[in-house]
Structure 1
Amino acid sequence: MDVDHTNDSKINPIQDLKSNPVQHIAFVKVHKAASTTVQNIFLRYGYENDLVFALPRAGSTISVQQTVRSDMILPPPPNRPYDIICSHVRYNREAFSKIMPNDTKYIGVVREPFRHFQSNLQYYRQRSVLKIPGNRPVLEYLLHNDKYMTFGGNIPTTYNRMAFDFGFPDALFWSKNFTNIHQHLLKLDKEMDLVIITEYFDESIVLMRRLLNWDLKYVLYGKLNSKRKKDPRLEIGPEEETLYKNWAHIDYELYNFFLNKLKNKLNQQPSDFFEELDYFRRTRTKYDNYCISSMHGGPAEISFEGSKWNKPFVVRKEHCSHVYIREMPFFNQLRARRKLQIERMNA
């Protein structure tokens, strides 16, 4: 599939850390695609800079089925707009635009579809699969999709889930109209400022830093939700992958489109991008090692030198507590802060 490169200029390689960083961000969160790690970057940035999140009224998810509405989220403090939305909710540009400022940057994430399927199976342990007897329930499941797959209305639960989260029209899930799929991809390409590719995660994060014009310290991360005991009955291989490709045709089109776009973007980067990438990886390793050690004692703080991409900064133990925090406790903290802000403004 051909990729439209008209939006490649959105990411400016020339950085000026004195200019205003982007603070209005909409993140399309796709489960099991390193999205919790990306979300944590946005949560920490917003928390440290006192930004206003579009917070779900309860839990950490706005909706797994629908797009956002104002009644699904807590109202912002008086006379302040929403700055960041990064909870899981189905993407729809018109709906997002009703709550987010016009200058919002839109960022998404996708993962190689079969790996995404494998991760979903292991993490969520779908009952529709596990209830199938035998040693290869996934193969049986994919061979006889009409017998075993439950949709929950029009919602695909195990395939094309990334496309669903990105708001592809429902009718496309029940056909293979590749012309209409491609038209929606072109629409998404115009609306998205960056789509992170999980398999090129660090490259994507450096591109994101440049897009947002943030100090590099804000995009350092620790991996979240990456470990879980595997169920041997859910181990799958080439035969299952061949069958899965037939069911997940939209996810493959979505992934390949933005993968090709990212690869072309990387090929066009100046040499200082790859210098930054190397610096980012070394700095992130130092940062990650410190935060892990801080949970088991270790020094009270660690200093980082300045570079072309960051000012000198210090990381302390209290900062690290937010690096590995789970979504729910972080969102509870943010809701408590919102309540306190509004109480103070009304006092």
Structure 2
Amino acid sequence: MKFFRGKRSIPKIILYLSYVILGCVLMDQILLMSKTYLRSLGNQGFQIVPDLNVTPCHPVTNVMFLKTHKTGSSTVLNIMYRFIENHHLTVALPVKGNIFNYPWPFKAAYVNGFPDIWQKYNMMCNHLMFNLIEVQKVMPNNTFYFSILRNPVSLLESSYTYFKILPFFVKSETLDQFLASPDSYYKPNEMYHMLAKNTMWYDFGYDNSAEDREDYVHSVLDEIEQRFQLLLIAEYFDESMILLKNALCWDLEDVVYFKHNFRSQDTIQNLTQESRERAKQWFSLDWKLYQHFNRTFWKRIQDTIGLENMQKEVKKLQARQKELMTICIQKGRGSYINEIKDQEFKPLQSGSAHILGYELKPQLDIKYMKICHRMILPEFSHLSLMKAYQLSQIRRKL
């Protein structure tokens, strides 16, 4: 072959190989961007075929997460904080503490640096009482709104243990006793009263002591449905993460998680069936909120990804979670606070609950150090890190 003869042919060989490599790279990018695949045509070669089941998308970076109480929202918060840092986004943080002056309705003035530093933020995800007009002052028009709900019976049981220091809970010995006569303990004019009745309803910006009328409930559900593009369900957290990933066009790595702000089994109360029914009545607005969006949750799965594909995606998520648990966490499980040596990893304790945290494995491979560190950081430690991150952004902006 003349092409390979003589020293003068060497540059031609290099040029030829360069074209081949460049062609492969370009083809790979074209297939990736257009969401296509190759179909074999036997001896005639291959045909490029579009994948009609996949729509090209770009990661959504303007997101408002309404962090509801005792719903697994601290785990979602960890996911949000990691995404913010990894993608160099701006985040609306409270002026003081970890909440936007809850339980008062949210105001833009509660955001640190608004409006002097930033007019709008990419993300907002700390506790607040939802107030759309004020939220829209700090979030862009194309913001994606989502939140998470939990079965109100389980939510109340968790709140009772976690907020046992509050007067309406501390006066009763057990939740069964509280539910036998809730009006004897609950006072609607007491601070944080919403943590004892229709908590989620209040977090969404509504009166938690409102009369449970059918027309009123439907109007509120319609308002929430129009504003929030996605409502997750705590009892189906893995499925929720897949829906969130797909809705935001994020990667699996963005939504992999370790549980946060979770209790040991010995502080979980088993309610009688009678108490469970009483809890549904006492939290009647929350119960209807949960029932409605639990139905729409499963309808969304069926209409989009499908149950079979959802199961496959959940298995991938769980496999990655298990892998990271093995890599990152000492003992491969949650630890009591007295087992955790590093102060940074000790979760806040509250009420009569034993909140578990994680110990980082020693001598981690450097490539896993950051992801492991961020995934196990409890809420308050992670907030401190996010405030330092925000300060560095402000300095660059100034």
1:344: how far off? 3.8
Residue number in structure 2 paired with 1:138: 175
Give a deviation string over 1:67-105, Cα, whole Å, max 9, x none. 321221112684663010000001122222121001110
Partner in structure 1 of residue 194 of structure 2:
156
- Amino acid corresponding to residue 47 of structure 1 in structure 2: E
Establish whether residue 331 from structure 1 lines up as the match of residue 383 from structure 2: yes
1:143 Cα deviation (Å)?
2.8
Structure 1: how far apart are the matches of 2:196 and 2:55? 41
CA distance in 2, matches of 1:213, 1:174: 38
Asked which structure has the greater CA Rg, the reply is 2
1:64 partnered with 2:102: yes
In structure 1, give the amino acid aligned to 2:77: Q
Q: Which has the higher contact order (CA 8 A, sep 6+)?
A: 1
**Deviation (angstroms), 1:290:** 1.6
In structure 2, C-alpha distance between the alignment counterparts of 1:38 and 1:222, rounded to whole Å? 10
Greater mean deviation of Cα atoms: 174-183 or 272-281? 272-281
User: Contact 1:196–1:204 (CA<8 Å) still a contact in 2?
Assistant: yes
TM-aligned CA deviation for residue 148 of structure 1: 1.2
CA distance in 2, matches of 1:345, 1:264: 44
Unaligned runs of 5+ in 2: 1-51, 331-358
Structure-1 residue corresponding to 2:89: 51
Q: Which residue identity is paired with 1:320?
A: C
Q: Secondary structure at the match of 1:164?
A: helix
User: Mapping of 1:80-229 within 5 angstroms?
Assistant: 81-125=120-164, 126-132=166-172, 137-151=174-188, 152=190, 155-168=193-206, 170=207, 173-228=209-264
Which is worse superposed, 77-86 or 26-35?
77-86
CA distance in 2, matches of 1:159, 1:181: 16
- Listed as ranges, the gaps of 5+ residues in structure 1 are 1-11, 302-314
Q: Distance in 1 between matches of 2:394 and 2:243?
A: 36
Superposed CA deviations along residues 251-297 of structure 1, whole A, max 9, x for unmatched, are: 00000000001111222334544332222221222123222148222
Contact 1:15/1:210, CA 8 A, preserved across alignment: no
TM-score (norm 1): 0.83
Cα distance, 1:334 vs structure 2: 1.8
1:261 aligns with 2:277: no
Structure 1 residues 249 and 334: CA distance shift in structure 2, 3 A = same
Matched residue pairs, number?
A: 314
Aligned position for 2:62 = 24
Code of the aligned partner of 1:114: V
CA distance in structure 2 between the aligned counterparts of 1:287 and 1:154, rounded to whole angstroms: 37
Relative distance call for 1:263 and 1:333 in structure 2 (3 A) is same
Partners in 2 of 1:342 and 1:65 — Cα distance?
Answer: 28
Picking from 271, 281, 306, the partner of 2:318 is 281
Measure, in 2, the Cα distance between the counterparts of 1:106 and 1:113.
22
Task: Supply the distance in 2 between the matched residues of 1:97 and 1:253 (Cα, whole angstroms).
Answer: 27
Following TM superposition, by how much is the alpha carbon of 1:299 offset from its aligned partner in structure 2, in angstroms? Answer: 4.5
CA contact (8 A) 1:90 1:164 kept: yes
Task: Identify the range of structure 1 (70-79 vs 205-214) with the bigger mean alpha-carbon deviation.
Answer: 70-79
Contact 2:79-2:254 within 8 A present in 1 as well: yes
Q: Percent identity?
A: 24
2:276 aligns with one of 241, 244, 255: 241
Q: Tell me if structure 2 keeps the 8 A contact 1:163–1:251.
A: yes
Say if 1:51 and 1:84, in contact at 8 Å, map to a contact too. Answer: yes
> Within 1, Cα distance between the matches of 2:214 and 2:181?
24
Q: SS at 2:137's partner residue? A: helix
